[in-house]
Amino acid sequence: MATAPLYETHTFHPTSLREYDIRGIIGETLGEDDAYAIGRGFGTLVLREAEDGNRTVVIGYDGRTSSPALAEALARGLNDSGLDVINIGLGPTPMLYYAEAVIEEAAGGIQITGSHNPANYNGFKMVFQGRPFFGADIQRLGQMAAAGDWEAGMGSVFTRDIMDSYVERLLQGFDASRTDFARIRIGWDAGNGAAGPIVERLVKQLPGEHHCLFTDVDGAFPNHHPDPTEEANLEDLKALVAEKQLDFGVAFDGDGDRIGAIDGEGRVIWGDQLLAIFAEPVLKDVPGATIIADVKASQALYDRVAELGGEPLMWKTGHSLIKSKMKETGSPLAGEMSGHVFFAHDYYGFDDALYAAIRLIRAASDLGKSVTTLRGEMPEMINTPEMRFQVDESRKFAVIDEVLQRLKADGANVNATDGARVNTDDGWWLLRASNTQDVLVARAEAGSEAGLERLMAQIDEQLALSGLERGESVGH
């Protein structure tokens, strides 16, 4: 007998349904009613569209104080649509992806997480039968909720501890008996995020010497913001590596799907530089493979992949978009400047920063060089950080269209994969519209400081022609 729904319809806050996930501020733009509606809608889609007839969804959540209550409301919504729920509890997002991949009866998975956002944010990342659930999928949940287009039924909630199995999978293929591994000395910064308990278990099983920071889960993030792509958040890790004279250090964002890294000299190893390290052993094993990076990555990466005999492919920014392109092209490895690294080579193709950390240890060993040496051998490019400029939501895509039309008329060398990436004799510059915020994103890279200034002047000129000023860069 079907249970009566708690709500007949639901309207989401207009800012919460994003391109890659659902996200908002707790108590202002996101709450338990939203979680329930997501469960009803997602469960309805599973019942109507899951090809294998499975009626189970796996859920997990990060360490934010609001996450357990959202998880309970989400499970209730899934149950009221007629689905069973397997709750794997607190853990990083990649552990949820792993659970969805290996639990046979799972037709999908939902992780409750605010990722790298401030403590008062939270959200939902979803996977449907092994594929990313984003874009039009998310908009459809909003349309279904507004119309009350939900199935009704009854389901149950089961708990399952999958952490040990996940850690075991992270270490699969890691030969701990190799003598060089016994000498490794690594710093780990979990940033009080959901990756902490996994880090604690991993280092107990890894050879060598390991020093950990902030592995206790604390949704207030008392030590530093959990975003390892902001260099300021790596200061504690840099100090640890310097004090203990460690080989290198790794850091994780709030839900463990983005990695940050520094070498033994405290130099940041950015996302595209990590990908260059990972690419070499992967291409030795899979010669000629396609390696994907987003439009913000350095030209040095694309050149390096080609030099190694691989096929470099520039693609749109966004973890869901990259994962979809990997499946389409059969790519074994992909990455973003934001620290998402995707291994389909000996893994599942989803972004897992903990697995990336293990692969960094393995890559240095396979290549017979320290991480510091690998970082030091990279060409020193002069580039800007990612710059973000406020623009009205209604104008951001229109501005990019205007820029592309002007560049085309001028005969510029432009790649329009995701915004405008313009190649010149000095280097390249990028201007694109964010899919998740009312901002334009810019970046430039040159061989000299004078060249970088000329590239920035071109960005300023294009913004001015569309009635905008670069002004001050805004945060994430």
Name 193's Cβ contacts closer than 8 Å, sequence gap at least 6.
Answer: 62, 63, 92, 217, 221, 226, 252, 253, 254, 255, 256
**CB count, 10 Å around CB of 211?**
17
Q: Give the CA radius of gyration of the chain.
A: 22
| One-letter identity of residue 163 | M
Query: φ, ψ for residue 353 (rounded to 5)?
Result: -70, -30
Domain boundaries 22-161, CATH class: alpha beta
Sign of CA dihedral 461, 462, 467, 472: negative
Name 342's Cβ contacts closer than 8 Å, sequence gap at least 6.
Answer: 292, 319, 322, 323, 326, 333, 334, 335, 349, 350, 351
> Whole-model pTM?
0.94
CATH 3.40.120.10 domain span(s) along the chain? 22-161, 167-376
pLDDT tens sequence for the chain (476 residues): 344 445 689 999 989 998 888 999 999 999 999 999 999 999 999 999 988 788 999 999 999 999 999 999 999 999 999 999 999 999 999 999 999 999 999 999 999 999 988 899 999 999 999 999 999 999 999 999 999 999 999 999 999 999 999 999 999 999 988 888 999 999 999 999 999 999 999 999 999 999 999 999 999 999 999 999 899 999 999 999 999 999 999 999 999 999 999 999 999 999 999 999 999 999 999 999 999 999 999 999 999 999 999 999 999 999 999 999 999 999 999 999 999 999 999 999 999 999 999 999 999 999 999 999 999 999 988 999 889 888 988 899 999 999 999 999 999 999 999 999 999 999 999 999 988 788 999 999 999 999 999 999 999 999 999 999 876 544 44
Question: Is 182 in contact with 171 (CB distance < 8 Å)?
Answer: no
Q: CA 344 from chain center: how many Å?
A: 15
**CB count, 10 Å around CB of 465?**
12
Catalytic one among 16, 66, 115, 434?
115
Gap between the Cα atoms of 473 and 177, Å rounded: 48
Q: Which of 400, 389, 386 is nearest to 465 (CA)?
A: 400
CATH 3.30.310.50 domain span(s) along the chain? 382-465
Active site residue 177: no
CATH fold of 167-376, please?
A: Alpha-D-Glucose-1,6-Bisphosphate; Chain A, domain 3 (3.40.120)
Superfamily of domain 382-465: Alpha-D-phosphohexomutase, C-terminal domain (3.30.310.50)
| DSSP β-bridge partners for residue 334 | 292, 342
Per the structure block, which two tokens stand in for 463? 């913004």
Gap between the Cα atoms of 365 and 280, Å rounded: 12
Helix (H) or strand (E) holding 25: strand 22-25
